[in-house]
Structure 1
Amino acid sequence: MTLNVTQPPKNLDNVSSSLTGGDFITGAQLYYILLSISALTQVFSIGGVITNAINIAVFVKLGFNETSNISLLALALCDLLSTIMTIWGTLCVTPGFSDAELPFLPAEISPLTGSGLSNLVFRCAAWVTAFISFERCLCILIPLKVKKWVTPKTTTAVVVAICITTIGPYIGAHWRWKFVWKFLPGRNATVLGVAVVDTPFLILKEKIENIVLGLIQPIVAFVTVLVCTVFLVVYLRRSSQWRKSMASAGGKTAGEDNSRKEEKVVRLVTSIATIFILCYTPNTLMFLNMAIFPSFSVFGQHKNTFLTVYTLSIMANSVSASVNIFIYYKMGTRYRNALRLMFHLKDSVK
C-alpha cells in the first residue's frame, strides 16, 4: 500500500474538502506529515542497508557452527532486503520522482515492488526474532535437550520454513494484482501500471489471506516476542540476584562463568527483542484498529489518520532494521572483534 502525496490541497485554508468526513488529520496536515516521515524513513533505510551489509559480512566470517549466528544472519538478510525495498517504496511517493514522466506509474507499482514487499520481509524478520527469543527461552528451561534439538541444520530448516510460510501466501494473496500497460491521454503515452482482477473467488480468497497475513500472523509473532522477552527479563533479574548473593557469601561456584556467558547472550537477545517490540507496536496497533474499526482504512472515514500511522509503521520498521549492529557491537565480544578485524583495527578487550 502506497500513497501518492505529491500534491497538497490547493486551498490550505479550506481543508475540509480533502477529508472523507470526521478525520483527525486534515488533508494539508497529511501532506506535510507524510513528506517529513518519508524523509526520515529514507535516512534510516539507507543506514539500514549499510549496517546490515556489515552484519552479514561479520556473521559469515564468524561461521555457522553456532545456531545463533545462523538466526542472526537470517535476521540481517531480512532487514537488508526490507530496507532496500523501503527506499524504493518511499522514493515512489517522493515529490519530483512520482510526478516525473516515467515509463511507469510509481504509486501503482510500489505496493508490488516496494512498500508491500518491505512489509512482507519485515514480517519474516518478526518471525525470525520470535524464533530467536523462543530458542533462548528453551535454552534456559531445558538446556540439555535444546542442544540436541536445535542444531545448525534444524535452525536453517526453521528459518527456511519461516520464509516459505510468510512469502508463499503473500504471492497467492496478490494474484488479483496484475502488471498492465496503460495509455495516458494527457501524456499521449503508454506506461506500466497495475490493474486489479475482480472475480468472486479471487476477492474471497484475498480477504481470507489478508486476515491471516495482515492480522493473525503479525500479531502472533508480536505476542510471542513479547512473552519471551518478559520471561528473559525475569530470568536476568533472578540470575543477577543469585550472583550478588554468591558474591556476598564470598564464594565462586564452578558454574558462575557459564552463568555469566549465558547472561550475556540473554541480554543480547532481550535487547534485540525489546527494540523489535518498540518498533513493531505501531504495526500491531494498526492491525488491531483495522479489525475493530472499519473506518480506519485507506478507503474509510479516517483514512488520513490511517495513512499517518501506516507511514509511521514503515519508518519504525526501518529503525528496527538499522540499529541491531550497535547491540551486537556493544554486547557481542566475538562480533566486536570480528568487525574490528575486518576494518583492520585492534581487537577489543574481552
Structure 2
Amino acid sequence: MTLNDTQPSQELDNVSSSSMGGDLITGAQLYFILLTTSAFTQVFSIGGVITNVINIAVFVKLGFNETSNISLLTLALCDLLSTILTIWGTLCVTPGFSDAELPFLPTEIAQLTGGALSMFVLRCSAWVTAFISFERCLCILIPLKVKKWVTPKMSTAVVLAISITTIGPYIGVHWRWTFMWKFLPARNATILGVTVVDTPFLNLKEKIDNIVFGAIQPIIAFFTVLVCTVFLVVYLRRSSQWRKSMASAGGKTGGGDNSFQFQMKQNISRKEEKVVRLVTSIATIFIVCYTPNTLMILHMAIFPSFSLFGQHRNTFLMIYLVSVLANSVSASVNIFIYYNMGTRYRNALRLMFHFDSEDSVK
C-alpha cells in the first residue's frame, strides 16, 4: 500500500454502506469480509506475537557467530512488530470497537499508527528475506569468497541499512499526516484524530515517496526473492540428482579412501542442502503470502480507479484485508520451519523449555 492510502477517512467507519457504481464488491459483502478476515487476522497475529518472541529468544541464545542468525533475528523482530501493529489496526476497524465512544477516532488513529507503519515494517521483512535468499545463492555460486565477504559485522550492517531505508521513511508520513484534536458536534466532545498538512512541497514529496517506497521498493524485493527461490529450487533438484548418481557410483568402488572421501562430500552436500531447504521454505511462504500485496500495488499503478478513494474502493479494501491476513500468516509460521529443519534451533528451543534434546548441539 502506498502512502496515499493512509489518508484519514470517515468512510472506513461505514464499511457496510452501499457499493460505489461499477465496484465488484457490495457494501454488505465487504462488511462480511471485514468481520471474517479480522477474526482470522487477530488469531494469526496473536500467534505471531508468541512465536516470534520465542524465535527472538532462541536466536539470541544461539548467538551471532553465524550470519544467518543475525538475518533471521532481524526477520523475527520485524514480524513481531508487524503482528503487534496488525492486532492494533485490526481492532480499530472492527465494528463495535470503532463505533464506541472513545477519546479518539479509531480508524484515523489506526491508519497512521497501525496500517501505515505496518506497511513499512512489512517492506523491511521483504528486504531481509531477499537478503537471506540472495546470500544463500552466493554461498552456492562462490562459496569460498562469500565466507570472506559475508561476515557477522557485514550482515549486521546490511540489516541495519535495510531497516533504516525501509522503516525510516515512515517519519516523512508525519510531515503530512499529523495528530489533531477535533470537535465532534454529534458527541459534543473534542477527540483525537488525524489531519492533513497540505503544502506543495509535501504533496510533491508524497508522490515521490509513493513511487519509490510504495511501489518500486517492495516490488524489487518481491522479485528478488522470487528469482533467488527459483534458483535455489533448481539447485536442490540438481543436488538430489548428483547425490543419487554419486551413491550409485560410490557403491561400485570398494576402496576405503575413496569411500571415505565420497561419504564426506555427501555429508557436506546434505548439510548445505538442509540450509538451502530452510531458506527456500521461508522464501516460498513469503512469496505466497506477499503476492496479494504485490498484485494490489501493480493494479494500483495500472488502474488509478483501484484505490481507497476510487471507483473500485470496496474491491481494493477486500484485497487489502486479504493481504493483511496473508501477512499475519507469514509472520506466524516461520517457527515451524525453523523447528523442523534447523537442528541447532530445535535443540536450543528444547533446552529452553527443559525438554530432552534429541540432537546434539553443534
TM bucket by the smaller chain?
Answer: over 0.9
Alignment correspondent of 1:304: 314
Partner of 2:256: none
Identity of aligned residues (%): 80
Whole-angstrom CA distance in 1 between matches of 2:284 and 2:24: 30
Distance 2:28 2:98 in 1: 19
Query: Contact 1:128–1:159 at 8 Å: present in 2 too?
Result: yes
On the 8 A contact 1:4/1:98 being kept in 2, the answer is no
2:16 to 8, 27, 47: 8
Q: Quote the Cα distance in structure 1 between the aligned partners of 2:44 and 2:118.
A: 14
Aligned counterparts, 1:165-184, within 5 A: 165-184=165-184
Residues 1:127 and 2:119 are matched in the alignment: no
Kept in 2, the 8 Å contact 1:174–1:206? The answer is: no
- For the residues of structure 1 that align with 2:243 and 2:25, how far apart are their CA atoms? 53
| Contact kept in structure 1, 2:339 and 2:346, CA below 8 Å | yes
> Which residue of structure 1 lines up, in the alignment, with residue 113 of structure 2?
113
- Specify the code of the residue in structure 1 equivalent to 2:224: T
Supply the distance in 1 between the matched residues of 2:143 and 2:174 (Cα, whole angstroms): 42
Segments of 4+ moved more than 6 angstroms: none
Q: Can you list the C-alpha shifts for 1:291-326, whole angstroms capped at 9, x where unaligned?
A: 000111011111100000011111111000000000
2:98 aligned partner = 98
Amino acid aligned to 2:336: F
Tell me which moved more, 71-80 or 172-181: 172-181
Partner of 1:12: none
CA distance in 2, matches of 1:111, 1:64: 36
- Cα distance, 1:253 vs. partner? 4.4
TM-score between both structures, scaled by the size of structure 1: 0.95
- SS of equivalent residue, structure 2 residue 175: coil
Structure 2 residue aligned with 1:334: 344
Deviation at 1:211, TM superposition (A): 1.0
SS in 2 for 1:180: strand
Instruction: Tell me what 1:52 maps to.
Output: 52
Give the unaligned 5+ runs of structure 2: 1-5, 252-258
Spell out, residue by residue over 1:190-216, the C-alpha distance to the aligned partner (whole angstroms, 9 max, x if none): 111000011111111101111111110
Asked if structure 1 preserves the Cα contact closer than 8 Å seen for 2:13 and 2:107, the reply is no
Once residues 353 and 274 of structure 2 are traced to their aligned partners in structure 1, the CA distance between those partners, rounded to angstroms, is: 24
The answer as to whether partners of 1:340 and 1:347 remain within 8 angstroms in 2 is: yes
Report the CA distance between 1:108 and its aligned residue. Answer: 0.4
Asked if 1 retains the 8 angstrom alpha-carbon contact of 2:82 and 2:122, the reply is yes
**Match of 2:30?**
30
- Which region of structure 1 is more displaced relative to structure 2, 191-200 or 164-173? 164-173
Structure 2: distance between partners of 1:174 and 1:248: 64
Q: Larger deviation: 48-57 or 247-256?
A: 247-256
SS of 1:254's partner is helix
- Conserved 8 A contact 2:117-2:170: no
1:137 aligns to 2:137 (yes or no): yes
Output one character per residue of 1:227-266: Cα deviation in whole Å (capped at 9) or x when no partner.
0000000110111001001111215343221111100000
CA distance in 1, matches of 2:305, 2:227: 31
Once residues 349 and 228 of structure 2 are traced to their aligned partners in structure 1, the CA distance between those partners, rounded to angstroms, is 29
- Residues 170 and 213, structure 1, Cα contact 8 Å, conserved in 2: no
SS state at 2:194 partner = strand
Does the CA-based 8 Å contact 1:109-1:194 persist in structure 2? Answer: yes
Question: What is the deviation of 1:44?
Answer: 0.5
In structure 2, what is the Cα distance between the partners aligned to 1:211 and 1:312? 23
CA distance in 2, matches of 1:254, 1:38: 51
Query: C-alpha separation between the residues in 2 aligned to 1:7 and 1:202?
Result: 29
Deviates most, 19-28 or 235-244: 19-28
Partner of 2:305: 295
When the two structures are aligned, how many residues end up with a matched partner? 342
Judge conservation of contact 1:5–1:34 (CA < 8 Å) in 2: no
**1:160 and 2:170 equivalent?**
no
User: Could you say which residue in structure 1 is the equivalent of 2:255?
Assistant: none
Kindly state the Cα deviation for residue 112 of structure 1 after the two structures are TM-superposed. 1.5
The reply to whether residue 318 of structure 1 matches residue 328 of structure 2 is yes
Amino acid at match of 2:187: R
Q: 1:283 aligns with which of 281, 286, 293?
A: 293
Give the partner amino acid of 2:218.
Answer: P
- The residue type equivalent to 2:46 in the other structure is I
Separation in 1 of the partners of 2:30 and 2:19? 10
Cα deviation, residue 182, structure 1? 0.5
Taking the aligned partners of 2:94 and 2:26, their CA distance within structure 1 comes to 20
Judging changes above 3 Å, is the alpha-carbon distance between structure 1 residues 138 and 7 closer, same or farther for their aligned structure 2 residues? closer
Say what the alpha-carbon RMSD is for the aligned residues.
Answer: 1.3
Q: Distance in 1 between matches of 2:263 and 2:342?
A: 24
Change (3 A) 1:315 1:326: same
Q: Provide the C-alpha distance between the structure 1 equivalents of 2:62 and 2:328, rounded to a whole number of angstroms.
A: 25
What is the CA-CA distance between 1:36 and the residue it aligns to? Answer: 0.6
State how far apart, in whole Å, the 1-side matches of 2:64 and 2:338 are. 16
**1:7-52 deviation per Cα after TM superposition (whole angstroms, max 9, x unaligned):** 634xxxxxxxx22211111111111111111111000100000000
CA deviation after TM superposition for structure 1 residue 6, in Å: 5.7
Q: For residues 269 and 21 of structure 1, what CA distance do their matches in structure 2 show?
A: 45
